[in-house]
Structure 1
Amino acid sequence: MTDPLPRTNTLSDRPISTPVARPSRSPAPRAWQRMLSGRRLDLLDPSPFDIEIEDIAHGLARVARWNGQTIGEHAFSVAQHSCVVEDIAVHIKPDLDPRWRLAALLHDASEYVIGDMISPFKSALGVNYKAFEARLESAIHVRFGLPPKSPVAVKTLIKKADRACAFFEATQLAGFERSESLKLFGAPPSGFQLTIDPLPAPLAQARYLERYRVLAEAVGILPGADAWHTE
């Protein structure tokens, strides 16, 4: 049977078109952190101009080594660890240039932002984390008058001092047997003795700042007003 009524081109006869997706207008996630100095550090593209030693010292004094799994009333802070690493580096190489002594003190400075991840976890995170850490370390170096990357010999020396400090920390604070620490970190340098007494955060912060100022003067960094100085 034929349709008695002629068909007309109505809206209902037209194909339904697929809606066009509109780009999202939601703001990008925040990628900066406000520091107590008032600086706002872009975590993805850190600028040396937004880095202050007071922020570093404050943060590192409150970041615990070994994820806080150490004996004693106070955690062993990255700030105190960094001071010891500089001491060990100078013990290994007594004529170490002040610039590289400063590099030793700052070797974990990026952890004032990203924390102290234990080595096995860093390895698991892979290249992206290491690239981010390297950018932040370079910005810190430039801020304090150092080359963005330390010479290979200097990095090797600092790593040796870092591992020696880890040996003492492992055996004295973190519950490792000496034999296990020797396998993991190697023997500390001959003649260097260390008894670790974890400091409260304010004292560790003050000690870190004191070492920085001594080394900065030796390097020839012009002293400036502290970031938190308000007078």
Structure 2
Amino acid sequence: MGDPWTDVGVVETYTGRQFDVFDPVAEAVDLDDIAAGLAHTCRFGGHCQHFYSVAHHSLHVSRELPEDEPRLQLLGLFHDAAEAYVGDVPRPLKARYDVFERVEAEVLDAIWRALDVDPPDETEWERVMTADDRLLAYEAGNVLEDGSWAGEPPDLAYELRSDSIETIRTQFLSRSETLRDRV
């Protein structure tokens, strides 16, 4: 890789690697970078009433999926993993400019390869996104000033005040290891 200041797509990661978001390769992916990036990234573009990380959200999405389907839970844990490299872009922006979705999809493909996990099929992805949408409505109703745009919050009982960044990072890594061992 060249100079990260002139190579527009290159970002430095938590572990000091250089990751090109426009040309993502599996060899540049590191699980520690994903866990740290997601633990440091606040949901809703940072507009929560208190800090609530994407890693914490991902843990809850994973737990929303059936316990007897560890692969599905693993897919849920990593559904937002690309955000470790590209940040949490709010849905309205993604909906308007599909380039965000394309970049995220390419980064996520590199992550699946790096983790040696087959990408989700359409049915699996739909189930993960259903869990993600349930969490979105629950989170919006509990961590935003007015999250009514997300619909009626479901009756869930997840803690939405993130522990320390280090604690959430460790929990994410531990859940990843547990699920990967079960798949």
Same fold (TM over 0.5): yes
Query: What is the correspondence of 1:49-68 to structure 2 with a 5 Å cutoff?
Result: 49-68=27-46
The Cα offsets for residues 166-220 of structure 1, whole Å up to 9 and x where unpaired, read as 111111111236xx35xx35663xx74334222221111111111111112212x
Q: 2:56 aligns with which of 60, 80, 100?
A: 80
Name the residue aligned to 1:206: 170
Asked if 1:154 corresponds to 2:130, the answer is no
Structure 2: gaps of 5 or more residues? none
Aligned length: 178
Name the residue aligned to 2:104: 133
Identity of aligned residues (%): 25
CA contact (8 A) 2:76 2:128 kept: yes
TM (norm. structure 1) is 0.71
Name the residue aligned to 1:112: 84
3-state DSSP of counterpart to 1:199: coil
Q: 2:180 aligns with which of 216, 219, 226?
A: 216
Residue 64 of structure 1 and its aligned partner are, at CA, apart by 0.5
Structure 2 vs 1, CA of residues 187 and 76 (structure 1 numbering), >3 Å: closer, same or farther?
Answer: closer
CA contact (8 A) 1:32 1:43 kept: yes
Q: Based on CA coordinates, which of the two structures has the bigger radius of gyration? A: 1
Counterparts of 1:199 and 1:185 in 2: how far apart (Å)? 26
Q: 1:89 aligns with which of 65, 82, 94?
A: 65
Counterparts of 1:125 and 1:170 in 2: how far apart (Å)? 22
Residue 59 of structure 1 and its aligned partner are, at CA, apart by 0.7
3-state DSSP of counterpart to 2:138: helix
Name the residue aligned to 1:124: 96
Residue 45 of structure 1 and its aligned partner are, at CA, apart by 1.2
Structure 1: gaps of 5 or more residues? 1-27, 220-231
CA contact (8 A) 1:36 1:55 kept: yes
The Cα offsets for residues 24-76 of structure 1, whole Å up to 9 and x where unpaired, read as xxxx940322223232212211111110110011111111001222223xx10
Asked if 1:70 corresponds to 2:34, the answer is no
Runs of 4+ in 1 over 6 A off after TM superposition: none
Name the residue aligned to 2:144: 174
CA contact (8 A) 1:164 1:185 kept: no
Counterparts of 1:164 and 1:39 in 2: how far apart (Å)? 34
Name the residue aligned to 2:160: 196
TM (norm. structure 2) is 0.88
Counterpart amino acid of residue 94 in structure 2: K
CA contact (8 A) 2:65 2:72 kept: no
Q: 1:37 aligns with which of 15, 25, 35?
A: 15
Counterpart amino acid of residue 87 in structure 2: G
